[in-house]
């Protein structure tokens, strides 16, 4: 292993947004959150039945991933997933989101499966 840090295209794109388009990105993130519905659990869900996507600066990304990166001003790469601590895959509340590895996320899926939550049905 070397100290060379690989960045993928998505990470570069996020880094550029954070440095060049942060105000616009914040506005977009805020409008998504305002348009969402707040549940008793504190989750903020969008009106779509599928995970919402955001189109921004020529790319399409998952809304929760976009919001997490903009709110925390962090650019994450392909190997980093944004996890839902609330286990609600439709939630976009940045307070319920945290970054983790793909392996962590798999573990979350197993935990959710153990509790009988099937996100494909949501």
Site residues for Zn ion per CB under 5 A: 43, 86, 88, 91, 93, 96
Minimum distance from CB of 95 to Zn ion (Å)?
Answer: 8
Token pair 């008793």 is found at 40
At its nearest, how many Å lie between Zn ion and the CB of residue 5? Answer: 31
| Residue 101, beta-bridge partner list | 80
Within 10 angstroms of residue 56's Cβ, the number of other Cβ atoms is: 17
Q: Least Å distance between CB 43 and Zn ion?
A: 3
Helix %, strand %, coil % of the chain (to 5): 45, 20, 35
Among 46, 40, 54, residue whose Cα is nearest residue 122: 46
Nearer to Zn ion, 19 or 41 (CB): 41
| Closest approach of Zn ion to the CB of residue 96, in Å | 3
In the bound state with Zn ion, the residue whose beta carbon lies nearer, of 86 and 99, is 86
Query: Please, which residue, 15 or 39, has the CB nearer to Zn ion?
Result: 39
């Amino acid at each position: 292993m070397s100290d060379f840090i690989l960045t993928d295209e998505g990470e570069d794109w996020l880094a550029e947004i954070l440095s060049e388009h942060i105000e616009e990105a914040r506005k977009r993130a805020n409008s998504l959150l305002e348009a969402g519905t707040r549940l008793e659990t504190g989750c903020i869900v969008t009106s779509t039945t599928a995970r919402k996507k955001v189109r921004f600066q020529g790319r399409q990304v998952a809304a929760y991933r976009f919001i997490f990166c903009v709110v925390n001003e962090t650019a994450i790469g392909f190997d980093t997933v944004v996890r839902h601590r609330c286990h609600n895959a439709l939630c976009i509340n940045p307070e319920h989101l945290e970054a983790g590895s793909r392996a962590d996320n798999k573990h979350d899926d197993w935990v959710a499966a153990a509790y009988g939550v099937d996100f494909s049905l949501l």
